[in-house]
Homo-oligomer: A and B are copies of this chain.
Amino acid sequence: MKISQNIKIAVDAVVFGYQQKELSVLLIKRGIEPFKGAWALPGGLVLENESLEHAVERELLEETGVTIDYLEQLYTFGTPKRDPRNRVISVTYFGLVSPNHFKISADTDAAEVQWFPIHKLPKLAFDHNLILTTALKRLQSKINYQPIGFELLNQEFPFSDLENLYQTILNQKIDRRNFRKKIMSFGILTETNKIHQTSSGRPAKLFKFNAKKYKELEKKGFHFEIKFA
């Protein structure tokens, strides 16, 4: 290669979770300079021989203790001065988890790790606020045409959790009756015979997402699609 290049490659992860009825994101407190003490997305430099996907899974596990099955590539951020040390290009990923399934614990370059509600975010290191906003927009667009919301919920959930999840992600009130009608019409939710005691004392049935049924329907040309006027 005839031109010399001194650019580093990093990966960063935006991991969304849903807890206490709020959409949250997994952040680490930086234990090293630059931005030591600031909150940031988990991530770090790619090792010489690992794939980008491996790099982001490794960094996430090292810095937060979270193992994630599916991370989707979000966008590559490469503005020349985004890192004060050196030119660093970051290939970013986003993923969805149910926070209850993980015990988070900081290590390596991370001094602390914490879930932050999306509406109460601190100022982040580097351009990480921009990365997070990009991921949030992708999530907001994607939940309308793919049943990815279920990955954020417990395996069995009262319908009101799903409703509230959409409301919090889209940051808008939704017409509950139409939403329920629409979702139920897809036939991808299975009613369990378990009952959940709501805080108001009213019992509510628990539902499960039927991934097998969804795959069958998808093969037949079914499109999951929710529209909010």
Binding site for B on A (CB under 8 A): 1, 3, 5-9, 45-52, 73, 75-76, 78-80, 85-89, 91, 221, 229
Contacts and interface: CB of A to CB of B under 8 A. Distances in A.
A1 B85 contact: yes
Given A52-B76, A52-B89, A9 B1 contact: no
Given A75-B73, A91-B89, A50 B80 contact: yes
Given A1-B86, A51-B80, 4 more contacts: A5-B9, A50-B80, A73-B75, A89-B91
A60 B79 CA distance: 19
A35 to B, nearest CB: 14
Contacts of A221: 229
Q: Which of A9, A78, A86, A89 has the most CB of B within 10 A?
A: A78
A89 to B, nearest CB: 6
A158 B94 CA distance: 43
15 contacts: A1-B8, A1-B86, A3-B47, A5-B46, A5-B48, A7-B8, A7-B9, A9-B89, A48-B87, A49-B87, A50-B80, A51-B79, A51-B80, A52-B78, A76-B76
Contacts of A8: 1, 5, 7
A86 B48 CA distance: 10
Contacts of A50: 80
B78 A91 contact: yes
A96 B49 CA distance: 34
Contacts of A3: 45, 47
A52 to B, nearest CB: 4
A5 B5 CA distance: 11
A115 B91 CA distance: 30
A47 B87 CA distance: 11
